[in-house]
Each structure stands twice: as C-alpha cells, then as structure tokens.
Amino acid sequence: MTTNSQVIYLKNYKPPAFLIDTTDLDIRIGDEYTSVVTRLKIRRNPASSEMSAELVLQGGKGIKLQEVMMDGLILDSSGYELEDSKLCIQQCPETFELTTECLIQPQLNTSLEGLYKSGGMYCTQCEAEGFRNITYYLDRPDALSVFTTRISAPKTSYPVLLANGNPVDSGDLDNGEHFAVWHDPFPKPAYLFAMVAGDLVRQDDEFITASGRKVDLQIFVEAHNSHKCDHALASLKRSMLWDEKTYGREYDLDLFMIVAVDDFNMGAMENKGLNIFNSDCVLADPATSSDAMFERIEGIVAHEYFHNWSGNRVTCRDWFQLSLKEGFTVYRDAQYTADTYSAAVKRIDDVTILRTHQFAEDASPMAHPIRPASYIEINNFYSVTVYEKGAEVVGMMHSLLGDHLFRKGSDLYFDRHDGQAVTTDHFVAAMGDASGIDLSQFKHWYSQAGTPTLTVTDSYDAAAQEYRLTVAQSTPATAECQHKQPFHMPFRMALLDANGTEMPLVVQGNDAITGTTCVLDIKQAQQTFVFQEVKQHPIPSLLRGFSAPVKLDYAYTKAQLLFLASKDQDGFCRWEACQRLLIEATEEAMLHTDGYQITDALVSMLRSSLVDEHLDTAMVAKLIQLPSEAYLAETQTTVDVDLIHAAREAMRMAIASALENELLTCYQRCHDTGPFSQTGGAIGNRALKNTCLSYLNSLGKTQYHNMAQQQYALQANMTDVGAALNSLIAIEGSNLATPLLTDFYQRWHTDTQVVDQWFAMQCGANRSGGLEQVQQLLQHSAFDIRNPNKVRSVVGSFIRSAINFHAADGSGYAFVGDMILKLDAINPMIASGLAKPLGRFKRQTPQRKALMQKQLQRLSEAQLSKDVFEVVNRALDSSND
Ligand code: TRP
Ligand code: ZN
C-alpha cells in the first residue's frame, strides 16, 4: 500500500545496464516457507551507455532475502543494499555469477501475482511484474534469459511438477519429497516464466506440425474436471493448424501444456510452453457450459496459443508496448474465429464490445492511447483500449495493405525480430517496409487517444453522373492531447442502386480502384471523393465491416436505413442499419414515456428477418436484438439510466406485442428436440429461439412463463437452461425464477464454474432491488472474496446492472466503494477493476455525478494500492474538465 506513487514515462526508457544470459532457479516448496535459490549469469550490456552502473534487481514486499553470493563468495551487508524493495550491488565486474537465496510464503499471497496457492496447488502469474515476488530479478520484458527450473515438493500432495520448456530430470528425494527439472531453450523475459505444483490429472493429445514434428499436447486439471478438456484440446489443434496456414507459423517446442486454476486475475496467460488458464476460460462440457462459453474458450485458447509467436518469440521492449503483443494477438484470434465460424457474426460481436466498452473508456478519465505515454501501475492498462482498439489498429493496417502485403509484413516482422524485444514502431516499420506503403501518419493511432467522429456528407449531380462524398474527421481532446492530428484510416464502402445492387466504382484521380467495393484512404481533416459514371442517385453503404474504430455520422433517412437493413450485402452494415433504427426508436420512446407507439415500418423490418427461413439464424438473432442499455448510454449526451431502461423495456414490449405470433412461431421452429448438437446451425437456432423467448416474456403472459419453465425443466443444455432462467429473472416484480434458482443451485453446487454463473445471473439482473440481492449473496457459503471469478460474478455483475449500480440514492456507489476498500487489501488488480466504473461520471446526471465523486473522494482518503490510487486520482483530476 502506498500513496507516494511514481509515474513511469515511456520517454525515459533506457536499455538495461546488465543482461542475464542464464537463470537457474531452485524452488523448494514447503508448508511455511518456500525457498528460492536463483543463480544468474550476468554481464554488462554493451548497448547500455552506463558502463559503470550499479546492478539493481527488483523484489516484491513479501520476499525475505537470506543470502547473496557473487562468483561463489558470500557478500556481507556492505556488499549490497536493500532499499525500497530493490537489491542494489555497486561494485560489479564485466561478467559474474550472482546467487541469491530468498524465502517466500505463496500460501499468503492473495494478490495472485507471483507464486501463489490456488486451492491445493501452487501456480504462478508473472505478467506484468509478478516475477519480482518470487525472487530479486531484472523484472522487465527486454531482459531475455534462458531459464532452467528445479522444483521440489512433497510427492503425495504435489505429484505433478511443471515449468516452461522440456522436462530434463526428475526423481525421488528423502522425506517423501520429489523433484523435477525443466529447461526452456528459448530466451524469454521473466513475465513468461511459469511453474505449477499440484495434484492434477492429465488429458493428452498430439499435433503434427507442417514440417512433420510431433508435438505433445497436455491439459492438466483437478480430477473432477477431467471430462471438461475435450473442447480446449480440439480448439488448440484447430488454432495450431490455422496459424500454420494463415501466418506460416509453427509451434517450436515438442510439448505444449495448459493448466487450469480456479483463482486467476484474468482469462489466461501465455507462459512459454506452459499456458495457465482461469478454469472458467478452458473447462467446458455441454451440460455446464453455454454456447457463448464454448465460443469464448475457443477464442482464448487460440489467443494464448498465438502468443507463442506474437508475444513470446517476438516480445515487448517495455510495458508501454503492450499492444504490440495484445492488439496483434486479439486481431489474430478474431481472424481465427471469423475464418472458423461466421465472419459477420464475429465482427458484430467485436464491434459491439468495442463501441460499448472501449468508446466508454476513451471518453473516461482512464482514456489512453493504445501505446500509453505514462502509467503508475501497468496492471491498469490491460484494457479494452490496448486489447480491442489495438486489434482494430492492426486490422486497419490489414485493410490498407490488403491480404498479400499484410502477410508479407507479418512475415517480415516475425523473421526480422525473432528472439527480440521490440516496439510498436518496429511492427509498423515491418508493415511499411514490406508493402512500400507510407505508414508514418498512421502511427498517430498509437499516440493519440479518443474516438474520432467521421462526418460524411454527399451530393449527386444527375446531369454529370457525379457523386461527391466528403469525409471530415475530428477527435475530442483527451488528457494526454488537446489537439489531435488527423488519422490515416481505411474507409470501406460501396454505392447501391435502387435494387440494392453494388454499382461499379470509378473514382476521379484514383485508377487503382476498380470493382464495386473499395477502401478509401482517409488522411486529411476533410477530403472529398468524386465518383464518376454514377448512373443513378446511389445509397451509400459506408464504413463496411466497421473498417475503422470511429463514430460514423451520416444523415441517413429512415427510408435509407430500412433499405440497407434489407438489401446491404455487407453483413455488418445490414445489422448496423437495423441497430440505428432501433436506437432512433428507443430515443423516441424516451420522449414518450407515457405510451410509445412503434412504427409499422420498424415492425415489418423486424418481421421480414424473423420469418425468413433462409437466413442464418445466428444472424437473425443479431438483427432483431435491441442495443444494450450500456450501448444506448454510449450514444447519449447525458445519460439518464432509468429513462434508458424504461424506454428499452417499452421497446421490448412493443416489439413483442406487435410480433407475438411471429416470435412464437420462430421459437417453435428453432426449438431443437433432437440430440444435442454444436454445429453452427444448432447454435444459431438456440440463439434465435432464446431471443424470441426473452421478447415473449416481456409480455407478462402465463403462457410464456410456462414456456420458459418447461425449457428449464427439459435441462437440455446450459444455453437453454440459462436463457430460460434469465428470461424469468428479468421480469420486474416477479419471483417466478426463485424456485428454479434453488433447484439450479442444488443441481450444480459442487461445480464452482456453474455456481459462478448462478451468482452472475442473479447479480446482473437489471431489475430493481439488486443491492439487497447482492448483499444476501455475499453472505452465501459459496461466495469467496479472495476468488476473482466470484467477485466478478457478484460485484462485477452488479455494476453492469445499471439501474442498481446507479440507484438515485447513491447506495450502489457506496456499496461498490466499500467493496473496493475491502478488496484493495486482498487483491489490488481486482479492486482497481471495480474502481474504473466509478470514474465514469462525466455524462451522468448532476446528482449521480456528485454521488460518484463522493465515493472517489472517500477512497482517495484511504491508504490505497498503486492500482486503485491511479484510477481514483485520474477520475478526481478529471472532475473539473
Ligand atoms: N497476457 C495475458 C493475455 O493473454 C494477460 C494476463 C493474464 C495478465 N493474466 C494476467 C495481465 C495478470 C496482467 C496480470 O491477455
Ligand atoms: Zn494476450
């Protein structure tokens, strides 16, 4: 806990004064203390300008230094200094061997950074700066070293001992102990170190690489989860094949291991050869996991696997470069999902996340460019901006370069920088060098935060057959930058004729554009494109595939949107037209709270999707879904949470009553009575069926309550069971769900993942009375404040139930304030995640704004971790903006 927090700046980067060629760890696990003996072969870094610098190794608060030896000689206390959790040695030769012995207590580590205990097993999480909690080290990503790890532990409690790389030795010791030695031949930074000791069972598979090497694939889980590994193993093999085909990248070791742990701060971690996963993000079977969870697991398995090249073989120079590996890897896993399943549905899902959460972050006190210029605590920057906007930036380069040159660029990047720790500039340089395209202006995406607005205007000259399209961009000021330079971005578009057919494109002064769709290079604050030989007044289909992370402002008429909603061949634009119409309708409902009349045009638009049996059902489910309250809030200048909720509910009811028969018919058509299947069609049917069920249950009719109860009673699969429960939970003022929730808990109380879902369904319900509900559940015997998944299911879900978090009396804010203080002493990273929403007061009503600031003020008066300190202070500093 500290309040004198230091700001770290990108501009102060210096290469390390020393390099560590090899790192030998000897880790002896003991009940009270775990001892760590670290032997380092160190030499001065020829690339450093400080040739007589002292050696400074970082260490965490919890480690007890026992002994320091240099070249075999014990240093007495005058030979080194221990200050501020740093180990400093002033007199160092050109090359030397340094050995330290430390004692740590992993069983007391509740921050889950470094070596800690999760249930009965020991495991590690070293990204970003967790390794320093294990031993004194050069804990920075540009210090690459070859690791050898020896682990010893009592054999009966910890029969499985794992670390990075290949197993090289193992055996029994005295006193019921045993040991294992692992060697990783690939030099890596400490954040990629991992080890595990536990009582785990193993599921095996194998993969033959393109060059014919056999790779053993192993998933380690607790025995009761052994039946939940198949999906992750299948996903892993698909990912390995895809990366060979798409990026020409093979796996490099002969062994790839995944370990599932219940206590984990994030989704999963790409440690070399030994990925560690949050159980929730790897274990699945149809009885306990919904379709959405299967999909999420596949994406995360792919993501961590892809890091082996984008992150591990080529790593980051410093933590400001985090998006180098995360943005690129999110982009790669999104491409994988798009290629393997439905590209349009995946794009819609990703754009929804980006516009709901990243745009909100960009407009918040925590706004930062995808390459931040400074931070107090790097953990705060594992953000939707660095990850999801970072992925959009890579995707924009792909659009600007085209498939062939993008692949040429990624090949050059991997080949040129294999084994190095580099920056986002190196990535862009590789793309630029391989393609010959000038990306200098494009780099503003890395240094400027904020969401640009693209204002598009047009005119058509029938006599000249000319269509003029003017695109203007502007980006609001953010803390790091008041006046933004224009961005370089790809603007994908087409022109549709009255039948919806794409017209041939002839752009004045640009012979490169042929065909019926194009990507325009937007570079200036304002620029005009002249399309020639345009035979009739076109309807523009703009920002196809959401080709840039911007807000598009074009004054579409309702008629045009209805046209695009049924005719646009671009799946994203089609959906977007529907969404715009639904948002506009919801805005009208906000103005008419005493009775909202839905228009016939909107009803028939929704009907035509609903009754069209030829459409992909997953896509229909997206087309008819209302925008979330969170996204609606994002589109408003002032946010009135209650009004948004009421208007959206009114819309839901209006649509359900206008289309009751169609919804019911569609429900019945999509209701699958055959054996459970996970094909795309079956998943789409479930999505559409359950969307219909939710609409129908807004009507308050017993008939539909029964339908949901029957769907629950069938217990066909977790998707249907969860959807049935959710549709009943959502009914304001009703307790129809209560007996089913009791039944659900009884069925599944031994499965901690399902219990997480049970908590989340109840705490995330956007109906009144949420706070009492959550307070009761916090007392439940299955709740554990030290388990991040439980905290996310209970407190995280509560924050997402907007009407409860934003309760007018401030009770939701005060509750979250209490939880932040309680959690900060346990797990700062999790506490700070809960603090970010409190800082998003800018567009709330004045009363709510004051109540949110009051909680932040109260937090700022406490002793805070760096994590929460940074979030709270940035929010308070922004109060006067
Ligand atoms: N690199 C991980 C990923 O693939 C992120 C991560 C996992 C992480 N655990 C963490 C980051 C703990 C910080 C702290 O996205
Ligand atoms: Zn990642």
| CA–CA gap between residue 212 and residue 235 (Å, rounded) | 20
Tell me which amino acid residue 840 is. Answer: R
Give residue-wise pLDDT tens across range 833-853. 999 999 999 999 999 999 999
| CA–CA gap between residue 272 and residue 632 (Å, rounded) | 41
**If DSSP codes are grouped into helix, strand and coil, which group holds residue 265?**
coil
Q: Which ligand is nearest to the CA of 332?
A: 2
Q: Confirm if 474 and 525 have CB atoms less than 8 A apart.
A: yes
Tokens representing 539 are: 């309807």
Q: Confirm if 790 and 754 have CB atoms less than 8 A apart.
A: no
Tokens representing 389 are: 């906007």
Quick one: pLDDT at residue 5? 67
* Residue 265 Cβ contacting ligand 1 at under 6 Å: yes
Neighbours of 302 (CB within 10 A): 25
* Residue 266 Cβ contacting ligand 1 at under 6 Å: yes
Exposure of 59 in the CB half-sphere (CA atoms within 13 A): 25
**If DSSP codes are grouped into helix, strand and coil, which group holds residue 506?**
coil
Tokens representing 669 are: 């058509």
Please tell me the distance between residue 314's alpha carbon and the centre of ligand 2 in angstroms: 13
| CA–CA gap between residue 482 and residue 279 (Å, rounded) | 43
- Cβ neighbourhood burial of 650 (10 Å; 0-12, 13-18, 19+): buried
| CA–CA gap between residue 332 and residue 548 (Å, rounded) | 17
Quick one: pLDDT at residue 179? 99
| CA–CA gap between residue 325 and residue 306 (Å, rounded) | 10
Please tell me the distance between residue 265's alpha carbon and the centre of ligand 1 in angstroms: 8
Task: Give percent of the chain with pLDDT exceeding 70.
Answer: 99
Tokens representing 337 are: 């999902």
Tell me the sheet residues that pair with 56: 88
Q: Confirm if 191 and 130 have CB atoms less than 8 A apart.
A: yes
Whose CA is closest to atom 3 on ligand 1?
Answer: 269
Mean pLDDT of 603-611: 97
* Residue 269 Cβ contacting ligand 1 at under 6 Å: yes
Give residue-wise pLDDT tens across range 773-822. 999 999 999 999 999 999 999 999 999 999 999 999 999 999 999 999 99
Q: What are the backbone angles phi and psi of residue 123, rounded to the nearest 5°?
A: -150, 170
**Average pLDDT taken over every residue of the chain:** 97
Judged by average pLDDT, the poorest of 2-11, 67-76, 586-595, 812-821 is: 2-11
From the CA of 112, give the closest atom in ligand 1: 12
pLDDT at 119 over 50: yes
- Cβ neighbourhood burial of 594 (10 Å; 0-12, 13-18, 19+): exposed
pLDDT at 603 over 80: yes
* Residue 127 Cβ contacting ligand 1 at under 6 Å: yes
Quick one: pLDDT at residue 880? 76
Neighbours of 360 (CB within 10 A): 21
Q: What is the DSSP letter of 208?
A: E
Please tell me the distance between residue 787's alpha carbon and the centre of ligand 1 in angstroms: 16
Q: To test the ligand 1 pocket, which listed residue (116, 125, 319) has its Cβ within 8 A of the most ligand atoms?
A: 125
Q: To test the ligand 1 pocket, which listed residue (301, 380, 382, 384) has its Cβ within 8 A of the most ligand atoms?
A: 382
From the CA of 829, give the closest atom in ligand 1: 14
From the CA of 267, give the closest atom in ligand 1: 7
Whose CA is closest to atom 10 on ligand 1?
Answer: 266
| CA–CA gap between residue 291 and residue 310 (Å, rounded) | 28
Q: What is the DSSP letter of 499?
A: T
| CA–CA gap between residue 144 and residue 832 (Å, rounded) | 30
| CA–CA gap between residue 443 and residue 612 (Å, rounded) | 45
Quick one: pLDDT at residue 777? 98
**If DSSP codes are grouped into helix, strand and coil, which group holds residue 84?**
coil
Please tell me the distance between residue 715's alpha carbon and the centre of ligand 1 in angstroms: 35
Q: Is the peptide bond before 232 cis (omega within 30 degrees of 0)?
A: no
Q: Confirm if 390 and 327 have CB atoms less than 8 A apart.
A: yes
Single out the catalytic residue among 270, 298, 304, 392: 304
Residues in Cβ contact with 264 at an 8 Å cutoff, skipping those fewer than 6 apart: 112, 118, 125, 276, 277, 278, 279, 788, 789
Give residue-wise pLDDT tens across range 717-768. 999 999 999 999 999 999 999 999 999 999 999 999 999 999 999 999 999 9
Mean pLDDT of 102-110: 98
Whose CA is closest to atom 2 on ligand 1?
Answer: 269
Measured in Å, how far apart are the chain's first and last C-alpha atoms? 29
Give residue-wise pLDDT tens across range 518-560. 999 999 999 999 999 999 999 999 999 999 999 999 999 999 9
pLDDT at 345 over 90: yes
From the CA of 378, give the closest atom in ligand 1: 13
| CA–CA gap between residue 716 and residue 685 (Å, rounded) | 14
pLDDT at 871 over 70: yes
| CA–CA gap between residue 162 and residue 688 (Å, rounded) | 44
Q: To test the ligand 1 pocket, which listed residue (139, 266, 332) has its Cβ within 8 A of the most ligand atoms?
A: 266
From the CA of 304, give the closest atom in ligand 1: 4
Tokens representing 244 are: 């060979």
| CA–CA gap between residue 535 and residue 465 (Å, rounded) | 6
SS (H, E, C) 315-347: EECCHHHHHHHHHHHHHHHHHHHHHHCCHHHHH
- pLDDT range class, residue 2, cuts 50, 70, 90: very low
pLDDT at 1 over 50: no
Whose CA is closest to atom 1 on ligand 1?
Answer: 269
SS (H, E, C) 668-726: HHHCCCCCCCCCHHHHHHHHHHHHHHHHHHHHCCHHHHHHHHHHHHHCCCHHHHHHHHH
Tokens representing 585 are: 């309708």
Give residue-wise pLDDT tens across range 436-490. 999 999 999 999 999 999 999 999 999 999 999 999 999 999 988 899 999 999 9
| CA–CA gap between residue 180 and residue 173 (Å, rounded) | 11
Tell me which amino acid residue 640 is. Answer: D
C-alpha 758, offset from chain centre: 22
Give residue-wise pLDDT tens across range 618-652. 999 999 999 999 999 999 999 999 999 999 999 99
Residues in Cβ contact with 560 at an 8 Å cutoff, skipping those fewer than 6 apart: 539
Q: Confirm if 358 and 384 have CB atoms less than 8 A apart.
A: yes
Neighbours of 85 (CB within 10 A): 15
Whose CA is closest to atom 11 on ligand 1?
Answer: 127
| CA–CA gap between residue 181 and residue 207 (Å, rounded) | 24
Dihedral (CA of 233, 235, 239, 242) sign: positive
Please tell me the distance between residue 126's alpha carbon and the centre of ligand 2 in angstroms: 13
Please tell me the distance between residue 268's alpha carbon and the centre of ligand 1 in angstroms: 6
Tokens representing 792 are: 């996310």
Residues in Cβ contact with 612 at an 8 Å cutoff, skipping those fewer than 6 apart: 620
Mean pLDDT of 133-159: 98
Give residue-wise pLDDT tens across range 189-198. 999 999 999 9
Tokens representing 801 are: 């139930």
Q: Confirm if 15 and 878 have CB atoms less than 8 A apart.
A: no
Mean pLDDT of 609-625: 97
Please tell me the distance between residue 329's alpha carbon and the centre of ligand 2 in angstroms: 6
Q: In what order do the strands lie in the sheet with 551-554?
A: 526-531, 466-474, 453-461, 551-554
From the CA of 268, give the closest atom in ligand 1: 7
- pLDDT range class, residue 881, cuts 50, 70, 90: confident
Residues in Cβ contact with 632 at an 8 Å cutoff, skipping those fewer than 6 apart: 583, 586, 644, 648
Buried b (16+ CB within 10 A) or exposed e, 488-520: bbbbbbbbbeeeeebbebebeeeeeeeeebbbb
| CA–CA gap between residue 518 and residue 538 (Å, rounded) | 15
Task: Give percent of the chain with pLDDT exceeding 90.
Answer: 97
Quick one: pLDDT at residue 672? 86
Dihedral, CA of residue 569, residue 573, residue 576 and residue 577, to nearest 10: -60
pLDDT at 3 over 50: no
> Is 304 in the active site?
yes
For residue 811, the surrounding DSSP H or E stretch is helix 811-824
**What's the pTM value of the predicted model, to 2 decimals?**
0.98
